A and B are shown apart, each in its own frame.
Chain A
Amino acid sequence: QQQLQESGPGLVKSSETLSLTCTVSGGSISSSSYNWGWIRQPPGKGQECIGSIYYTGSTYYNPSLKSRLTISVDTSNNQFSLELSSVTAADTAVYYCARQRVLGSGSFYIDSWGQGILVTVSS
């Protein structure tokens, strides 16, 4: 069964760049059936889709974060990554990586999640 695992620092200073990596095991990230995404959940709040990437490098970015966001994929290591620049306290959240099943229509839904990693932005 395919698994996803987030890694990266749990504490980032305000105005710096948050960087996370998701390692996919038990299957290839180069599958044509899936996108690979990042979702975050601030403490006590609901989830927010940050962005997604296909193994070819095609991306979807949330417009609210687009100016600060970079998502990349490393097929040789079966990983994909998130970089969010100029962070503030509002970026404090549990960050999840996820596998997203791609439909014939082009839409995609999350069918598997990583365990999540809490990232706190400190001043």
Chain B
Amino acid sequence: EIVMTQSPSTLSVSPGESATLSCRASQSVNSKLVWDSNLAWYQQKPGQAPRLLIYGASTRATGIPTRFSGSGSGTEFTLTISSLQSEDFAVYYCHQYNNWPYTFGQGTKLEIK
């Protein structure tokens, strides 16, 4: 089973600033068939279901603002949120869907500084 490790566990940032969240996989999550990484990012607010932000490591899901960007390959991935808005403060999870069972990171809580 691939272990996903996110850092930091909590990140305090002021509105308007940028936030960088990291995710590391215990082995590569690159697709064997296409030039792609099977890595997604989700946002979750209290009492709500997670929302898909990024898939394929860097492709924004439908309706996701351009201030959200994903990067990385292999075992190291980053989610960057620029110009933080009040609605962006939430918990963020990375998720690998390359090897079954698919697994999630433990989450990074993004809080207002």
Measured CB to CB, the residues of A under 8 A from B are: 45-49, 60, 62-64, 96, 101, 103-105, 107-116
In this complex, the interface size class of chain B, counting residues with CB under 8 Å from chain A, is 20 to 34
Contact status of A109 and B106, CB under 8 A, knowing A47-B93, A114-B49: no
User: Is B70's CB within 8 Å of the partner chain A?
Assistant: no
Contact among A46, A96, A111 with B61 in the assembled complex (CB-CB below 8 Å): A111
A-B contacts, 14 of them at CB < 8 A, read A47-B93, A47-B95, A60-B100, A62-B101, A96-B50, A103-B31, A104-B34, A105-B32, A105-B38, A107-B98, A109-B38, A109-B40, A111-B61, A116-B49
A47 touches B50 (CB 8 A): yes
B33 touches A104 (CB 8 A): yes
Measured CB to CB, the residues of B under 8 A from A are: 31-34, 38, 40, 42, 48-52, 55, 61, 93, 95, 97-98, 100-107
What is the distance, in angstroms, from B59's C-beta to the closest C-beta of chain A?
10
B49 touches A46 (CB 8 A): no
CA distance A67 to B51 in the complex (A): 30
Which of A64, A101, A110 has its CB near the most chain B CB atoms (within 10 A)?
A110
A49 touches B33 (CB 8 A): no
B33 touches A105 (CB 8 A): yes
Chain A residues contacting B52 (CB-CB under 8 Å) are 109-112
Chain B residues contacting A116 (CB-CB under 8 Å) are 49
A105 touches B106 (CB 8 A): no
CA distance A116 to B48 in the complex (A): 8
Look across to chain B and name the residue whose beta carbon is closest to the beta carbon of A48: B104
Chain B residues contacting A49 (CB-CB under 8 Å) are 101-104
Contact status of A46 and B38, CB under 8 A, knowing A112-B52, A114-B49: no
CA distance A45 to B104 in the complex (A): 11
Q: Which 5 A-B pairs have the closest CB atoms?
A: A113-B49, A105-B33, A62-B101, A47-B104, A109-B97
